[in-house]
Amino acid sequence: MTSPEQVIQAVLADLPRHRGVVVDSPPGAGKSTLVVRAAAHIAATGEPLMIVAQTNEQVDDLVTRICERHPDLTVGRLSAGGYVPPLRLLELPGVTVGTRVQDLGDPDIVIATADKWAWISGRTWPWAIVDEAYQMRSDKLLRIAALFDRALFVGDPGQLDPFSIVDGDRWSGLSWDPLQSAVSVLLRHNPDLPVHRLPVSWRLPASAAPVVSRAFYPFTGFRAGTQPHERRLELSTGGMGTVHDRALEEAARSGWALLELPNRHTVRTDGEAVQAVAQLAARLLQRGAVASSEQGERPVTAERIAVGAAHRDQVAAIRNAGVPPEITVDTANRLQGREYDVTIVLHPLSGRRDATAFHLESGRLCVLASRHRHACVVVARAGIAELLDAHPSAEPVQLGVPVKFPDGWEANQAVLDHLAAHRV
Amino acid sequence: MSLLTSLARLRALEEGIAQPIATVRHCHLSERPMVLIPLRMSGEAAAPLAAMLGTRRDDPRLLVVTQPRNRDLRFAWTADLAAELLPYIGSFLAGTETVERKNADPYERVLDAPQILVPNQAGIAFVRLLGRSTRFRRADGPYPVPETVPLLGRWLTYFGERAAHPGSSLMTAATEELGRHWASGQSGLEDANLAALMAWITTGPSDDAEDPLVWPPAGPATDPGFDAEVLATAIEAGAAERITEALRGQLEPTWRLMWQAVDLLRGLPEGASVEQRWEQDRGSFSAMAAHIAEGAPPQARRDGAVAAASRLARMERAQAAYEVQRAYDDPLVMAEYRLTGEAFAGEVVETEPEHSEGEGRSRKLRPLVVVKTDDPVRLAPGTALGTPQRRAQGAQLVEARDGLVTVKITKGMGRGKTPAPGSVPEVGERVCYTSLTDDFQGSPALPEAEATPWTHGGPPREYTPSDEDALEEWS
């Protein structure tokens, strides 16, 4: 088995040898660490570097990490006009914030979102790092590819594919289909580029890594970086035997819990399910969970809990149902790349009459089921397995489109199968 | 399908008649539309069999290929079609207006544009395929065709592609437009049958719509029974007259339905933003006409990397604008957003028209309005809002609790110390605010096609017309 360090060394060694290098990273496998390492490695050669991330939060996170790790590097953070940098960013030494490249002086590293980079022209960088490259649509890459000579693409192939509000069938099968991810288009045109894989998830506990790996990364796979006994979640107060309490106890014990509501077809903002999610979140705080891991022991505070759902109206409904305001409640799209101790998930297929491609997309469930360091509680109505059986994927097969793995239907079944053992 | 549409479908089923799901018409309807009903020979993708077309309901033109396996006859038919359609298209090129643009040269835009109406989505697909199979033909070289054929091919391609542009009315399918305004009690798939959908809207569902002897299919596919029993024997007998009359019988019922559909849509008042979208259609049509006049090559077989990205950006922009405009134009569409918490409507219960923020020179007028609403408001404080009642107005959500929503007006109330008359809603007025707004930023520039980067396969090869084009598979 290759160690993560060997992979990182191989990546750094490949950088000068190829025009592009791709690194696949399963959830929590140290992708950001790799980006920071590679950034410092390139900056040490004295050549300027540009970094592309997808959202402002990702950019800010990266800036913070780079400065903490390598305080000697100067970082320029490019932003759009309306952006207000968080205070923590302004306090960092060596960081300048500006809307134009000229305003930044001449920093070692310039970092911005892909959308912002698309407006930059008139200068090129010898090196680029593209973070979350699987979440980046290839048309965005097209707009910025002229800015750099060589690039390192880092991302998680199991997460959500980029999407569009319009029908893109007319381009399917084209090697430069603008709706495909930046990495798929890059690799179709440059099949000889090296692809590395990070083998270990530091985030997912030993209870989750095999499940997620089997369901969403069936061919590449990864393992947990910790042993089962290294991660413990304890509830410091006793329960009252309600279903919510029992679900939390099951999750604390095994790392997973499925709170199953009676089978029913409901509207998207299913009142009962929303209420259950909100109560679980509130109850988790009340019971004073304490998480102990290789990083030491700490209480599971509201900032360390996340609630995930598939649709924005579900998120709004859950928030209105009385979830403590410090707890993050968001859609799968926005939870990508984030990490929490405990997550509470409203299953995308809960209460539905049909299973559309949107709900079957494996990335959606993968994001929701792989944000936690300790435990994940899923709320769902009974009958999802039957629903899946009634809706095998029936998308038309397009010529020239590489088959995508894993199949969303299979991944959903695999996760359900595992959850069934933790049903409350 | 949204909640309201599902409800409308259930109600349609219960009451036995389609239910309106729009209060205004969201598509442009030309005074002189070209109704076109194409038929295809079964078994081939784009082998024309017949077409009925025309701009007047009492004067349909019928064009027939008496032996659809004969390619010469097919191209002769296409030339006949060109003789009908090209003069129609050309008749709109005479009257133009000059449009000034920011940071660009002014251009000429036609005052009115053609509009082609086909029965269904499959009709649009057939028109596009027909365009695809004719636009690379040439009047010289091997297998020459009349020179109007490739020209028509380019126009058909243009109309076919424009039909995929959200909110465009240059070529639309009757079933699509009807389905956007009425909900029937049948499935979306069944709605693609023009006769069935029209029955739901006018008299109520009837089994006749499924009977090819009463309502022959609206094309381009023909009824297999008709193919086997009538068409095949007539073609074998080589009886041109019989073939023509048989096909006329297949097409005439649909022709009547198409004009009935036009009447139905015309009965609805036009939505406020339809004019604006039609203006874009006119601009696009003018650009295409200029393109052809300059002698540019036919549209590429496939979009290149840059062309694909730029088309996608245009379509996404148009789709977003179309959705917002429909909601602003139509309270029934807005109701969908009120249900999901992205909009709310109610009565103004309190106003503070002279409220201001800041001190001294930076003092800004920010009138406050409190709206009482029963809608579930799921918007965060600080969300930018717009309102269909005052389209120039910009606002911001301050607070929402217990059915009372406080809104701060940030734009469109004048520059004075007091708001311009009428710009702030009065107490008692019914208003609607929504987080949908139609102000999108332009998209950043794409590289020139010749500068396609290495990540996307590098610069594409240039297209040069060759004799090989004529050898392409036609079926």
pLDDT score recorded for residue A225: 86
Residues in B lying within 8 Å of A, measured between beta carbons: 3, 164, 166, 302-306, 308-309, 312-313, 315-316, 319-320, 340-341, 376, 378, 443-447, 451-458
Which comes out higher in pLDDT, residue B421 or B441? B421
What sign has the CA pseudo-torsion B311, B317, B320, B322? negative
**Minimum distance, in Å, between the CA of residue A138 and any CA atom of chain B:** 9
A264 and A377 in a single domain? The answer is: yes
| pLDDT at residue A1, rounded to an integer | 65
Digit-coded pLDDT (tens) for B194-247: 999 999 999 988 888 888 888 999 989 999 999 999 999 999 998 889 999 999
Residues A35 and A120 occupy one common structural domain: yes
Q: Which whole-number Å values give the CA distances from A157 to A160, A316, A332, A333, A336, in the listed order? A: 8, 28, 15, 14, 12
Reading the block at residue A291, the tokens are 């998480």
Q: DSSP states of A70-107 as a string?
A: -TTS-EEEE--TT----HHHHTSTTEEEESSGGGG-S-
Handedness of CA A118, A120, A122, A125 (dihedral sign): negative
User: In this model, does residue B475 exceed pLDDT 60?
Assistant: no
Q: pLDDT class for B1, splitting at 50, 70, 90?
A: low
- Looking at residue B308, what is its pLDDT? 92
Same domain, A253 and A235: yes
Instruction: Find out whether A157 and A150 touch, Cβ atoms under 8 Å.
Output: no
Q: What is the pLDDT of residue A258?
A: 92
User: Per the omega criterion (within 30 degrees of 0), is the bond before B144 cis?
Assistant: no
> Which residue of chain B has the CA closest to A149?
B454
Span A150-182, pLDDT tens digits: 999 999 888 888 888 888 888 888 888 998 899
Same domain, A398 and A343: yes
Is it the case that residue B474 has pLDDT exceeding 60?
A: no
Q: Are A181 and A159 in contact (CB under 8 A)?
A: no
Residue A298 DSSP label: E
Question: Across the strands, what pairs with A292?
Answer: A232, A297
**CB contact residues (below 8 A), chain A span 262-321, against chain B:** 267, 313, 316-317, 319-320
As for how many domains chain A has, the answer is: 2
Percentage of the residues of chain B whose pLDDT score is greater than 70: 99
* Nearest-CA distance B305 → chain A (Å): 5
Mean pLDDT over residues B306-324, rounded? Answer: 92
Would the pLDDT of B169 be above 90? yes
Q: Is residue A203 part of a domain?
A: no
Determine contact, residues A209/A377, Cβ cutoff 8 Å.
no
Residue A148: closest C-alpha in chain B: B453
Domain CATH code at residue A407 = 3.40.50.300
Cα A161 versus chain centre, distance: 11
Q: Rounding to the nearest 10 degrees, give the CA dihedral for residues A136, A140, A145, A146.
A: -160
Q: What is the pLDDT of residue B89?
A: 94
Beta bridge partners, A375, equal A342
Confidence of residue A112 (pLDDT cuts 50, 70, 90): very high
Evaluate if residue B472 carries a pLDDT over 70: no
Write down the mean pLDDT value for chain A: 88
Closest partner residue to B457 (CB to CB) among A182, A189, A313 is A189
Q: Which of A173, A198, A223 is the last residue of a domain?
A: A198
Q: How far is B376 from chain A (nearest CA, A)?
A: 9
- More confident site: B442 or B27: B27
Which residues from chain B sit within 8 angstroms of residue A320, using beta carbons?
A: 376, 378
Which of A213, A229, A209 has the alpha carbon at shortest distance from A221? A213
- Chain segment B364-399, per-residue pLDDT in tens: 888 899 999 998 888 888 888 999 988 888 888 898
In the 8-state DSSP scheme, what is residue A229? G
Residue type, A159: Q
Residue B393: closest CA among B437, B457, B427:
B437
Domain end, chosen from A198, A225, A248, is at A198
- For B57-81, write each residue's pLDDT tens digit: 999 999 999 998 888 899 999 999 9
Residue A24, Cα to own-chain centre: how many angstroms?
A: 13
Cβ-Cβ contacts under 8 Å, A319 against chain B = 378
Of A165, A198, A231, the domain-final residue: A198
Among B166, B303, B305, beta carbon nearest to A142:
B305
pLDDT in tens, B324-346: 999 999 999 999 999 888 899 99
Full residue range of the structural domain in which residue A288 is found: 208-421
Which residues have a Cβ under 8 Å from the Cβ of A13 and sit 6 or more positions away? none
Give the pLDDT of residue A230. 86
Comparing alpha-carbon positions, the chain A residue that sits nearest to B164 is: A167
Mean pLDDT of A403-418: 83
Q: What mean pLDDT value characterizes chain B?
A: 89
Query: Domain ranges in chain B?
Result: 3-329, 343-434
CA distance B377 to chain A (A): 9
Q: Are B65 and B50 in contact (CB under 8 A)?
A: yes
Does A15 have pLDDT greater than 80?
A: yes
Q: Are A162 and A18 within one domain?
A: yes
Q: Min CA distance, B388 vs chain A (Å)? A: 22
Size of chain A, expressed as the number of residues it contains: 424
**Chain B positions in Cβ-Cβ contact with residue A352 (cut-off 8 Å):** none
Which of B2, B452, B455 is most worth mutating to test chain A (most A CB atoms within 10 A of its CB)? B455
- Chain A residues closer than 8 Å to B157 by CB: none
Residue B456 with chain A: CB contacts under 8 Å: 138, 141-142, 145, 176, 185, 189
Closest approach of A315 to chain B, Cα-based (Å): 10
Considering the domain architecture, whether residues A222 and A357 belong to the same structural domain is answered as: yes
HSE, CB side, 13 Å, CA atoms: give it for residue B443.
Answer: 17
**pLDDT value at position A295?**
82
Decide if B378 and A316 are in contact by the 8 Å CB cutoff. Answer: yes
Same domain, A119 and A222: no
Nearest CA in chain B to A175: B456
A383 or B36: which leads in pLDDT: B36
- What residues of A are in contact with residue B457 (Cβ under 8 Å)? 175-176, 189
pLDDT for B463: 74
Half-sphere CA count of B137, side-chain side, radius 13 A: 28
pLDDT of residue A57: 85
Closest partner residue to B309 among A19, A121, A139, by Cβ?
A: A139
Q: For residue A271, is it within any domain? A: yes
pLDDT of residue A121: 87
HEC string of chain B equals CCHHHHHHHHHHHHHCCCEECCCCECCCCCCCCEEEEEEECCCCCCCEEEEEEECCCCCCEEEECCCCCCHHHHHHHHHHHHHHHHHHHHCCCCCEEEEEECCEEEEEEECCCCCEEECCHHHHHHHHHHHHHHCCCCCCCCCCCCCHHHHHHHHHHHHHHHCCCCCCCCEEEHHHHHHHHEECCCCHHHHCCHHHHHHHHHCCCCHHHHCCCCCCCCCCCCCHHHHHHHHHHHHHHCCHHHHHHHHHHHHHHHHHHHHHHHHHHHCCCECCCHHHHHHHHHHHHHHHHHHHHCCCCCCCCCCCHHHHHHHHHHHHHHHHHHHHHHHHHCHHHHHHHHHHCCEEEEEEEEEECCCEECCHHHCEECCEEEEEECCCCCCCCCCEEEECCEEEEEEEEEEEECCEEEEEEEECCCCCCCCCCCCCCCCCCEEEEECCCCCCCCCCCCCCHHHCCHHHCCCCCCCCCCHHHHHCCCC
Residue A119 lies in a domain: yes
Does CATH number 2.40.10 belong to domain B343-434?
Answer: yes
- Please report residues of B whose CB lies closer than 8 A to that of A142: 305-306, 309, 446-447, 452-453, 455-456
Chain B residue with the nearest C-alpha to that of A164: B316
Residue A123 lies in a domain: yes
What is the distance between the alpha carbons of residues B110 and B88, in angstroms, rounded to a whole number? 14
For residue A52, pLDDT beyond 90: yes
Tens digits of per-residue pLDDT, A315-335?
888 988 888 888 889 998 888
Shared domain for A190 and A216, answered yes or no, is no
Whether residue A161 sits in one domain with residue A245:
no
